[in-house]
Amino acid sequence: MEDVEKKFWQLPKGDVHNHLHLSAGILRLKEQYPGTRFETPESFDGFDGMMRFIEEYVNTLLRSSEDVVSLMDMAIRSAIDDHVIRLEASVDIHLVKYFDGSLENFMSAVGTLKQKYAHQIDFRPEIGLKKDISLDEVYQNGMACIRSDVFSGIDIYGKETNQDLSGFKKIFEEARALAKKTKVHIGEFSDHNSVERAIETLGPDEIQHGIRAVDSENTMEMIKNRGIRLNICPHSNIALGAAGNYLEHPLRRLYDAGVNLTINTDDLLLFNATISDQFAQLIQQGLFTFEEIDAIRRNALNED
């Protein structure tokens, strides 16, 4: 496995499903904050358990805008450590509160990070919006971010079941009009019908997770016919209980059905599995050949 992992580590990769302030590598975190106690569990008690862990362990690291910038900076460097050359990462709009509520300062900080690493990585920040955010904030701060030169797209996330996504329709239309990428988290814990509703409501370019599409031929056909890519995070899915293990993960069946997909980290700080780690696991488990994983690797590097 070490040889396979080393081969993939040496190859350029794209991470296109990443939450920036949750994606610092643990070693880099401990270098930055010596003496900090931060150990991730092998599994969480579902989505709610993950949110409790973030509240108890991650949010205590956030005391100022400097802390937020530091975590995001470490996340970019951690991606570079794994030879990621294209990083599409969401930056949660709620982080504005650490910048004294100044959207201008928030966007300036993200823009500065883009410039800082421009010669090392193609960093494309996306404005991240939780599904329970107020629509006033969506169409004030969220729209301002989409219309800026800082952000390359939009990503909405949060709980998946029983969510009305229609309030995001206009900002998705605006993003498309500005040639910005649109993504929605759906189908990790919710069923294939929710995936279809999200597609019909928002018309996203890409779906974050979307693994329950595997339960319906019609859903998979809709995804393929509309040219939608699934940005999947196997280790995250397993740690959160959306899949039992690598052998039970729907990834292989989606691949065999011809669905376009990528493999990503999601939250490196929480799940502690790089893209190279996951590539090696999928080969070691006998689920994919090196050539198949290499094709998936290249999917994340395709030009727009």
Query: In sequence order, what DSSP letters do the residues of 67-100 get, joined into one string?
Result: HHHHHHHHHHHHHHHTTEEEEEEEEEGGGGGGGT
Q: Strand 229-232: give its sheet, edge to edge.
A: 13-19, 84-92, 122-130, 153-157, 181-186, 206-209, 229-232, 261-263
Q: Under 8 Å CB-to-CB from 217, ≥6 apart: which residues?
A: 257
The answer to whether residue 188 is catalytic is yes
The residue from 188, 196, 206, 303 that is catalytic is: 188
Angle in degrees, CA 30, 31, 35, rounded to 5: 50
Q: Is 218 helix (H, G, I), strand (E, B) or coil?
A: helix
- Distance, in Å, from the CA atom of 230 to the CA atom of 24, rounded to the nearest integer, reads 23
- Distance, in Å, from the CA atom of 109 to the CA atom of 252, rounded to the nearest integer, reads 39
Query: Can you tell me which residue has the tokens 């996951």?
Result: 278
Residue 263 parent element (H or E):
strand 261-263
Active-site annotation, residues: 188
